[in-house]
Amino acid sequence: MIDRSRSLPGLLLRAASMEVLAGMLLCGMAAAQEKSYPHINLATDYVVDPAWPQKPAGTAWGAMPGVAVDAHDQVWVFTRAKPPVQVYDAGGKFVRWWDDELIQSAHGIRFAPDGTVWLADNRSHVVMQFTPEGKRLRILGVPGQPGDDLAHFNRPTDMAITPQGDVFVSDGYGNDRVVHVDRSGKFVKAWGKLGTAPGEFSLPHSIVMDSQGKLYVADRNNVRIQVFDREGKFLAEWRNLMVPWSLWITKADEIWACGCSPMTWRPEDICLSCPPKDQVMMKLSTEGKVLQVWTFPLGVEGQEKPGELDWLHGIALDSKGNVYLTDIKGKRAQKFVPQP
């Protein structure tokens, strides 16, 4: 059989086709140059506020896993340094700090509906309740003693508190479960184990509850967010959206997640996404619909610039939509202002 594409007529035809294609491309480029596209931003941009916060001289910041915003738009950071709890207002002015002798390794920080502050310490194996002034009110778990029974946690990561005072703990690095404790501190139930099936976990790293009582768990190593009712019944899983490190939920039940793009395990990994491939935050509906995505530059350790993040770990929003992000390697809390 004759290969006509290699004959002289065939070669001439191919050359003519390439010339026509090139002409079309040039015409398209010329048209694009002549056309004036409207430079209207339909995507929301986020710009770092380099002046936030005004950290007092001599105040240390270490790895920065936790951040929360209270009802007055004050920003609370939970850092692996002394003092571990520091408070700044939305303009960056330092408000106060406090410490507690039981705090060993900061992780999650949350506000209960009654205004009290809850901390998860993954080295002391406890979660603790405080007044905003730093008076310790309650300890769940046994300080310094890991376990997986009714009285112990094993490196807990976060907690969600109901208006009735019940606490749901993501018990996290050691146990791969969620624990429900009632308002009196009594153990109610636990669910989950190490695995990849629905209802199982591999490092439940953060937990939030919506206004209807549904729980959302950042199942970090499994690259998904799982949804449960208050009894622990599995409702849904949102897979392959991101490696979720932390969650925040607004009064309007908008779920914000931060972490990195989906990744697979590497031979050297102990936990997935250490180091991450990029830095991402995402807004989702309570049905798991992605409403917004934004990425940030991944900084170089020790050389991070304003607006870059290095092991993005914590996320919180204030009433104006400003986003506060914290990182581990970057050892910073930063404020990002939306540009509509």
For 264-289, the pLDDT digits (tens) are 999 999 999 999 999 999 999 999 99
Comparing CA positions, the residue from 177, 167, 285 lying closest to residue 236 is 285
Range 171-192 average pLDDT? 96
pLDDT at position 85: 98
More confident call, 172 vs 239: 239
pLDDT at position 7: 53
pLDDT at position 318: 98
Whole-structure pTM value = 0.89
Q: What is the DSSP string of 113-173?
A: TTS-EEEEETTTTEEEEE-TTS-EEEEES-TT---SSSS--SSEEEEEE-TTS-EEEEE-S
pLDDT at position 127: 98
Comparing CA positions, the residue from 193, 205, 207, 123 lying closest to residue 160 is 207
pLDDT at position 272: 97
Q: What is the DSSP string of 16-67?
A: HHHHHHHHHHHHHHHHHHHS-------SPEEEE-TT---PPTT-------EE
| pLDDT of 163 over the 70 cut | yes
Instruction: Provide the residue ranges of all domains of the chain, joining segments of one domain with +.
Output: 4-34, 45-339
pLDDT at position 17: 56
Tokens linked to 154: 């094993």
Range 141-164 average pLDDT? 96
Q: Which helix (H) or strand (E) holds 8?
A: helix 8-34
| pLDDT of 8 over the 50 cut | no
- Please check whether the domain covering 45-339 is classified as CATH 2.40.30.10: no
pLDDT at position 34: 79
Range 82-95 average pLDDT? 97
Residue 35: band (very low, low, confident or very high) from pLDDT cuts 50, 70, 90: confident
| pLDDT of 15 over the 90 cut | no
Q: Say how far apart CA 256 and CA 208 lie, in whole Å.
A: 10
> 3-state class of 200 per DSSP?
coil
| pLDDT of 29 over the 90 cut | no
More confident call, 58 vs 322: 322
Range 69-80 average pLDDT? 98
pLDDT at position 340: 79
